[in-house]
A and B are shown apart, each in its own frame.
Chain A
Amino acid sequence: MSSVPFKDKLETFELNLGPQHPATHGVLRVVLTMDGEYIYDAEPVIGYIHRMHEKMGENRTWAQFLPNLGRLDYLSALSYNLGYVQLVEKMMHIEVPERAEYIRVITTEINRIASHLVWLGAFVMDLGGFTPLLYAFDDREEILDLLEAVTGSRLTYCYFRFGGCYNDVDDDFLQGCLKFCKRFYNRIDMYHKLVTGNIIFRQRMEGIGPIDADMCRRYGATGAQLRGAGVNYDVRKNEPYSVYPEMDFDIPVYTECDSMARYMVRMDEMVQSLRIIEQAVAKIPEGPVKAAKVPKMIKPAPGDYYHAVEAGRGTFAIRAVSDGKNKAYRMKLRSPTYSNISLFREASRGMLLSDALAMMGSLDLVIPDIDR
């Protein structure tokens, strides 16, 4: 927290940031109470694109709800798909063939890279650098082409099914992934030369926007916020699911708690995702991609169930309450960005407006994920 001494509140003025503002990455509004250039209070006003996915979860069957998941955080839709199908598989005790698990890991990880690339481009653009966005989207385009070939869509994927995947992947896809990995190692080096080392960039990032581990704990913030605050926590490691335990990868952790730490976490995460993809492509077994027996009618036993996965922006979790019918009785979607932005008010107090916007960029907001 900054030590700027505040004058009387009477000397402040109100400023509306958004809901239509490039730095808010969508329809987020922040009501700022400013003391000159310093933020006295910043209240995020959310809900502009609230669609009540939780109610939709209650009035359609378990299978019908599947496409909704890709519309929460549309940038890392496959992680959300994965969380939901795994929850239903947990409730219904469906065994997933190994090949399907590998396909899930490969596609989810490559989707994670695409998601981080959008963040990278948009984030650097927030800080005034337009070029990296074009480079990032160039890389992202390669991923979208790969994923389009197997999933049929370029953005709001709905590829996983209860008990497996919609269809098998071919050699072109697997080889394409390896080709992308090879290319992307070089591109990451280029990004580091282009962006990370830039002195203007570093001066706007280092030591600015402190979010420490205790704040993350009190607000439930996860993802790069938490790992940039020195906590070695990732659901893929702490609560392993799918075939992640068989992969050799590290969780990048930085202890600085500033915007730069969060930037570095995401940059390193992309490299770790490449490692996972390479191993998974090498290890992927032959076999079916759908479970032999999946009940046509999904009617989970009454009770409530919880499942968490590591999405692009942190922990995505679902708490589903079943009453034994073919529709959920309650479907709580715990989205990571919601918790991440809720700490903005406390974290931004006393900051310069321009620094607060840099910090907001480092939170990697996806508004549909906040509003659900």
Chain B
Amino acid sequence: MDRSDVIQKLRSLAAEGMPDEPEEVAAPPVEEEGEEDAKAKKKKAAPEPRKNGLLEVSHAEKGVHVDVQLNADQVVAAAEIVSAAGMAIDAITGVDWMKDKEMEVIYDYCYYGDYSTEDGKAFRIVVRSRIPREEATIPTISHIFQGANWHERETFEFFDINFSGHPELKRLLLPEDVDFFPLRKDFKGL
């Protein structure tokens, strides 16, 4: 498997989905500040939301090699890229970012390589996408990875994320008749 090729394809996919950046404004000259001030400033400033794009991260620290954030309509294209490269689906899950009014859908892919060859080293890609929290919808990838079928059903019943195009988006682990979504952060128990 050509890892750099996969990375390159995902990178250009992520670049396609980026909004046109405004002309770069010349950075204001950095003012000399006392260390205390800088610290206080750093604490106050809320962390910027992550922009779409591809990061190569440290496997020893994060447990994955490549971390890509994409628009919701690009996750199918990303699944096609990793599938064509012979990678396997590991898991799909969601994260409820209630404060940001966003849902994050996370796709984990890994490569089942032969460990005795150079090609077989571990290779894990995580693809993530942020969608609005209310009426969250994202296209299904269950036609590419059939195993995604159950993962998407699970994510749907825990987070109320609608996977459009899914063949049978019904509850999997919970009883059929529940009317709550237990992993949403505003779920307060029964």
The yes or no answer to A46 lying at the interface (CB within 8 A) is yes
The yes or no answer to B72 lying at the interface (CB within 8 A) is no
User: Which chain A residue has the least Cβ–Cβ distance from B120?
Assistant: A238
The yes or no answer to B149 lying at the interface (CB within 8 A) is yes
User: Which chain B residue has the least Cβ–Cβ distance from A343?
Assistant: B147
The yes or no answer to A299 lying at the interface (CB within 8 A) is no
The yes or no answer to A275 lying at the interface (CB within 8 A) is no
Chain A interface, DSSP helix/strand/loop, else mixed? mixed
Nearest-neighbour CB distance to chain B for A270, whole angstroms, equals 20
In the complex the two chains form, is B115's CB within 8 Å of A238's CB? yes
The yes or no answer to A204 lying at the interface (CB within 8 A) is no
User: Which chain A residue has the least Cβ–Cβ distance from B64?
Assistant: A306
Known: A218-B89, A219-B147. Is A334-B108 also a contact (CB below 8 A)? yes
> In the bound complex, what is the Cα–Cα distance between A319 and B163 (angstroms)?
21
The yes or no answer to B116 lying at the interface (CB within 8 A) is yes
With a cutoff of 8 Å between Cβ atoms, the chain B residues found around residue A342 in the complex are: 146-147, 149-150
> In the bound complex, what is the Cα–Cα distance between A239 and B110 (angstroms)?
11
> In the bound complex, what is the Cα–Cα distance between A366 and B122 (angstroms)?
26
Known: A55-B183, A90-B63, A339-B147. Is A216-B112 also a contact (CB below 8 A)? yes
List residues of A (57-90) whose CB comes within 8 Å of B's CBs: 58, 87, 90
With a cutoff of 8 Å between Cβ atoms, the chain A residues found around residue B182 in the complex are: 52, 55
In the complex the two chains form, is A231's CB within 8 Å of B150's CB? no
The yes or no answer to A329 lying at the interface (CB within 8 A) is yes
The yes or no answer to A98 lying at the interface (CB within 8 A) is no
With a cutoff of 8 Å between Cβ atoms, the chain A residues found around residue B45 in the complex are: none
How many residues of A sit at the interface, in one of the four size bands? 35 or more
The yes or no answer to A351 lying at the interface (CB within 8 A) is no
The yes or no answer to A346 lying at the interface (CB within 8 A) is yes
> In the bound complex, what is the Cα–Cα distance between A52 and B175 (angstroms)?
13
The yes or no answer to B174 lying at the interface (CB within 8 A) is yes
> In the bound complex, what is the Cα–Cα distance between A365 and B61 (angstroms)?
32
The yes or no answer to A251 lying at the interface (CB within 8 A) is yes
In the complex the two chains form, is A306's CB within 8 Å of B112's CB? no
> In the bound complex, what is the Cα–Cα distance between A369 and B149 (angstroms)?
18
Q: Mark A299-320, 1 if CB is under 8 A from B, else 0.
A: 0001111111000000101010
List residues of B (59-102) whose CB comes within 8 Å of A's CBs: 60-64, 86-91, 93, 95-96
In the complex the two chains form, is B172's CB within 8 Å of A238's CB? no
Known: A52-B182, A220-B91. Is A346-B146 also a contact (CB below 8 A)? yes
Nearest-neighbour CB distance to chain A for B43, whole angstroms, equals 12
With a cutoff of 8 Å between Cβ atoms, the chain A residues found around residue B62 in the complex are: 303-306
> In the bound complex, what is the Cα–Cα distance between A343 and B61 (angstroms)?
32
Q: Mark A264-308, 1 if CB is under 8 A from B, else 0.
A: 000000000000000000000000000000000000001111111
The yes or no answer to A47 lying at the interface (CB within 8 A) is yes
Q: Mark B99-128, 1 if CB is under 8 A from A, else 0.
A: 000000010101011111000111010100
In the complex the two chains form, is B150's CB within 8 Å of A371's CB? no
Nearest-neighbour CB distance to chain A for B9, whole angstroms, equals 18
In the complex the two chains form, is B147's CB within 8 Å of A307's CB? no
In the complex the two chains form, is A233's CB within 8 Å of B174's CB? no
Q: Mark A22-55, 1 if CB is under 8 A from B, else 0.
A: 0000000000000000000000001100101011
In the complex the two chains form, is B150's CB within 8 Å of A330's CB? no
> In the bound complex, what is the Cα–Cα distance between A317 and B146 (angstroms)?
20
The yes or no answer to A234 lying at the interface (CB within 8 A) is yes
> In the bound complex, what is the Cα–Cα distance between A50 and B171 (angstroms)?
12
Nearest-neighbour CB distance to chain B for A103, whole angstroms, equals 23
The yes or no answer to A372 lying at the interface (CB within 8 A) is yes
With a cutoff of 8 Å between Cβ atoms, the chain B residues found around residue A47 in the complex are: 171-175
> In the bound complex, what is the Cα–Cα distance between A213 and B88 (angstroms)?
10
In the complex the two chains form, is A50's CB within 8 Å of B174's CB? yes
The yes or no answer to A217 lying at the interface (CB within 8 A) is yes
With a cutoff of 8 Å between Cβ atoms, the chain B residues found around residue A232 in the complex are: 114-116, 120
Question: Which of B63, B108, B113, B146 has its CB near the most chain A CB atoms (within 10 A)?
Answer: B63
The yes or no answer to A202 lying at the interface (CB within 8 A) is no
What are the 10 tightest A-B residue pairs by CB atom distance, in nearest-first order? A306-B63, A219-B147, A47-B173, A239-B122, A237-B115, A232-B114, A217-B88, A334-B91, A50-B173, A332-B93
Interface residues of A (CB under 8 A from B): 46-47, 50, 52, 54-55, 58, 87, 90, 213, 216-222, 226, 231-235, 237-239, 251, 302-308, 315, 317, 319, 321, 329-330, 332, 334, 338-339, 342-343, 346, 371-372
Given contacts A47-B173, A305-B61, A343-B146, 20 further A-B contacts (CB under 8 A): A47-B171, A50-B173, A54-B183, A216-B88, A217-B87, A218-B146, A220-B89, A233-B113, A238-B120, A306-B108, A308-B63, A308-B110, A308-B124, A315-B110, A319-B91, A319-B106, A330-B95, A339-B147, A343-B147, A346-B146
